[in-house]
Amino acid sequence: MENMSNFINPLLVGTTAHLEQNTSKISAKQLVLAGVGSLIIGAALKKTGHAQTGAFVAGLAIPLLTSAVYKKIKSKKLENVNKSTDITGNYYEH
């Protein structure tokens, strides 16, 4: 039952390493597409008269897009971990 509670509420685990390990298979591009898709589906639901459901689905866009930005920034930082610059700003590997 403990695994199910961690799946339902990942904040119970308390570590970002665990969350990153579980979401490492999802790319930033997929997260952006899911975020934009949730906005479109939410708008369509609102137009068809399902205002509460549409608001909920559209509300999922912000966490999805934020996760995509985080993954992109993290991958850029990992690329530049072993790189340094000289006085002129040129990169070189350690």
pLDDT digits (tens, 9 = 90+) for 66-87: 989 988 888 877 766 556 666 6
**Phi/psi-derived region of residue 14, left when phi > 0, alpha when psi is between -120 and 50, beta in every other case:** left
How far apart CA 88 and CA 54 sit, in angstroms, is 52
Q: Is residue 58 part of a domain?
A: yes
As beta bridge partners, residue 68 has none
Written as one string, the DSSP assignment of 56-94 is HHHHTHHHHHHHHHHHHHHHHHHHTTTEEE-TT--EEE-
Q: Is residue 40 part of a domain?
A: no
Q: How many domains does the chain contain in total?
A: 1
What is the domain extent for residue 69?
51-85
Domain membership flag for residue 59: yes
Q: Is the pTM of this model over 0.85?
A: no
Q: Do 94 and 82 touch, CB atoms closer than 8 A?
A: yes
User: pLDDT tens-digit profile of 23-77?
Assistant: 678 889 999 999 999 999 999 999 999 999 999 999 999 999 998 998 888 887 7
Maximal CA-CA distance, the chain: 61
